Homo-oligomer: A and B are copies of this chain.
Amino acid sequence: MIPKFVKKTSKKPGLPPGSIVHVGRRREAVPRIAVIRYNAEAIGEETVDGRLVSSAQDPLAPAPSDGAGAAGVTWINIDGIHDPALLEAVGRRFAIHPLTLEDVAHAGQRPKLEDYGDYLYLVAKMLYFDAGDEAVHAEQVSFILTRGALLSFQETPVDVFDPVRERLRGGKGRIRGAGADYLLYALLDAMVDHYFPILEVFGDRLALLDEALVTDLERKTLDAIHEMIREMLFLRRQIAPLRDALGQMKDAENPLVDAGTGLYLGDVHDHATQVLDTIANFRDLLAGMLDRYLSLMSNRMNEVMKMLTMIATIFIPMTFLTSVYGMNFKHMPELDWRWGYFGLWGVLIALAALMLLYFKRKDWL
């Protein structure tokens, strides 16, 4: 899990601002650009090869209006942020500020909302649970919401957007008739909804750990608690700034976001708050489990020490007595007594009984 916090996050210091330098996992594949244009009546999809973007034919042309004259929406989804030339071409086409492009290419952003007047720039994190290494991973997803178009940038293809695509194709619900801001909402909603199953995985793990605390106090339980605390820290760092960005967006006074969509964004904000609430709860519970682990260890140590002390306190004095009568002095009258040996046994047993009684009364047994 350690690599998570040593992710290389630095571009080369000293570069001028707006230098588009990819930071993130290295990828070789050519970015795939999926363009969906739709209005309430029609929908069209095409896939553009990342290398063709700057050609004469403009694959990024706006969507046609529908019959009622309502403007259509263009959704351009770009899988892969490692090609500066592509990002620059897109930037020119949509008049994106170089600083925005620099951030898009840099996978180490904190989730945030930036209002550039003509467009909104939102950074979010897609989280998924990798059953392989039993850890949560984060992918950066950037959105640029501009008039009549939504650009989304992903490090790797994310299938969490598929249900939204289906809804677009099916033409059901509000989505086809609404604007690009509603599309952004739908995508964010899909992302935040995917946080819940991750919490359930951790909830199950928490229940197992809690049980493990009762049955066996092994070191691996301790390690698992610490590991989970780290995961919670990681989740919170991904989600808390997103929640704040959503709060800003729902109250944004930018005309790009419709008041009606604000209501829906409030709902996503609410979900993100619920997620954070659960995370906070998990952290409280984990902190309690850690406290309990330490108390139980201390308890157990106490029991171990009691056992040692009882054994030692009973047998050391008895051994001393037998050792006395193992001495080879010439003149030891007791040795010649007829019942000396048996008498000593009596003394020894009485001594042990007394000690046991004492421990009994001290509640050690």
Chain A residues within CB distance 8 Å of chain B = 2-3, 5-11, 13-18, 97, 99, 102, 108-110, 112, 114, 116, 160, 162-164, 167, 172-175, 185-186, 189-190, 193-194, 196-197, 199-200, 203-204, 206-207, 210-211, 216, 219, 222-223, 226, 229-230, 233, 237, 263-264, 266-267, 270, 273-274, 277-278, 281-282, 284-285, 288, 290-302, 304-309, 311-313, 315-320, 322-332, 334-341, 344, 363
Contacts and interface: CB of A to CB of B under 8 A. Distances in A.
14 contacts: A11-B193, A14-B160, A14-B193, A15-B193, A16-B174, A108-B274, A226-B292, A233-B281, A297-B298, A304-B309, A305-B308, A308-B313, A319-B320, A323-B323
Contacts of A162: 14
Contacts of A337: 329-330
B99 A267 contact: yes
Given A110-B274, A340-B329, A341-B332, A305 B305 contact: yes
Contacts of A335: 327-330
Given A2-B210, A5-B278, A293-B295, 4 more contacts: A311-B317, A319-B323, A331-B338, A331-B339
A223 to B, nearest CB: 8
B186 A17 contact: yes
Contacts of A304: 302, 305-306, 309
B325 A325 contact: no
B305 A301 contact: yes
Contacts of A9: 196, 199-200, 274, 278
A288 B229 contact: yes
A266 B99 CA distance: 10
B267 A237 contact: no
A203 B7 CA distance: 8
A149 to B, nearest CB: 22
Given A17-B264, A226-B288, A226-B292, A10 B297 contact: no
Contacts of A322: 320, 323-324, 326-327
A45 to B, nearest CB: 19
Contacts of A329: 325, 334-335, 337, 340-341, 344
Contacts of A270: 110, 112
Contacts of A334: 329
B302 A300 contact: yes
Contacts of A206: 2, 5-6
Contact of A203 (B5, B172, B278): B5
